[in-house]
Amino acid sequence: MDDLPLLLFGSALGTGLVFGYVIQRGGFCLTRALSNTLLMRDATILRAYALALLVAMVGVEVLEALSLVDIPLRPLHWLSNIVGGLLFGVGMILSGGCSGSTWYRVGEGAVGAWVVLLGFAIGAIWLLNHLTSKQIFLIAGRSVLIEREVRLSDFTLNDSAFDRERSAARAS
């Protein structure tokens, strides 16, 4: 049982390294896919995105059909989705790529990608410091209702107080 965290972190690191190598070598970036399709009439990367989306959709359905995962249905908020999508798209254009490509561009030494990464960090810290109480978070694969302000310190790896609160929230 003590080897589980090591196995989890080791497999996550391995998966991340393989994923990073593949997206870097293939130039797998949604911004690049769209610009190549519109400007150069080359839809190769866009087709790869469509295939990845199709595989993910089928995979989720298979996992749910085999009862390996339980995916709750959530209400669709049209306006929030449209505004969020527009903001995400504008951010991708301003940064020159999506979050995945930002990471591999950091690895390549692109200075602009470091600026974008700093923006990610500032945005995440700002969001965590400005959330109101009773926010629903996806923690450890479950939605948990937190009955107090959420702080950045809540997301440290060995915070036993937060683990106790999370366990109590799951039990109720």
> DSSP string of 61-111?
HHHHHTTS---------HHHHHHHHHHHHHHHHHHTS-HHHHHHHHHHT-H
Residue 147: domain span: 132-172
Do 52 and 81 belong to one domain? no
Lowest mean pLDDT segment, chosen from 31-40, 98-107, 138-147: 138-147
Do 126 and 163 belong to one domain? no
Q: State which of 20, 51, 70 marks the end of a domain.
A: 70
Do 168 and 138 belong to one domain? yes
Report the number of distinct structural domains present in the chain.
Answer: 3
Lowest mean pLDDT segment, chosen from 92-106, 113-127, 134-148, 156-170: 134-148
| pLDDT for the residue 31 | 83
Do 5 and 39 belong to one domain? yes
